Homo-oligomer: A and B are copies of this chain.
């Protein structure tokens, strides 16, 4: 009956010697005997057990639970597996969302080469803070700041506004079309991020960073209350106005 040294076991199984020491220490896999010098020796039984350990580890079970499985033969495996599957599916879903969000973000960053400060793009994704933040901003700054925002908006030239509006409508069209989606999908989150991004971009030209609060608090009200901005470049834009209003309302409902 051959017995294996730590290094042999390590090489056979692809794990490290340290890992074997560790498994010994926590009682997950003990060598079947020690030499007088203290050297560990493993036998077939231990190799089999290690295979099982590696299998469970592959399924991402924490070592403590693996110990439990192996010690307790009456452990109900199916339930454990199903629990674990549920957890994995949740993780998968979350990763799906992350990937989708990242893709959106990348696309938008590539489109908008204007943007230089990446860290300015992502507010608005945390709803809770948004709520409080807007309320605080409104309390702190009041109506006259909104008027200021309005006057700054006026300064934008015809071309500038046209550009802005084009991107603006694109966002809001999609936002509008998807207004009934519930719950808020990552795609919509991304749209809203983009919405914020536009605002930031616009206000970046006149605002120093600590005035952003005003911009946030002001523009929401501004856009939804005053139809003038929808007509700014000379012609009436009923569709734009509608979208703008509905999308903003949607936006405000969900995020502010």
A-to-B contact residues, CB < 8 Å:
1-2, 12-14, 44-45, 47-48, 50-52, 54-56, 58-60, 69-70, 73, 75, 77-78, 81-82, 84-85, 88-89, 91-92, 95-96, 98-99, 101-103, 105-106, 109-110, 116-119, 122-126, 128-129, 132-133, 136-137, 139-140, 209-210, 212-213
Contacts and interface: CB of A to CB of B under 8 A. Distances in A.
25 contacts: A12-B129, A13-B128, A14-B126, A45-B209, A45-B210, A47-B129, A47-B133, A48-B212, A51-B129, A52-B119, A52-B123, A54-B125, A58-B101, A70-B119, A78-B106, A81-B102, A81-B105, A81-B106, A81-B109, A82-B106, A85-B102, A85-B103, A88-B95, A92-B96, A92-B99
Given A12-B128, A122-B55, A136 B2 contact: yes
Contacts of A73: 116-119
A50 B82 CA distance: 36
Contacts of A50: 129
A69 B118 contact: yes
A186 B256 CA distance: 46
Contact of A101 (B59, B75, B99, B213): B59
B98 A51 contact: no
Contact of A126 (B44, B55, B60, B81): B55
Contacts of A85: 99, 102-103, 106
B98 A60 contact: yes
Identical chains bound together, number: 2
A12 B131 CA distance: 9
Contacts of A75: 118
Q: Taking each of A44, A95, A96, A140, which has the highest tally of chain B beta carbons within 10 Å of its own beta carbon? A: A44
Contacts of A52: 119, 122-123
Contacts of A1: 140
Contact of A77 (B2, B48, B118, B128): B118
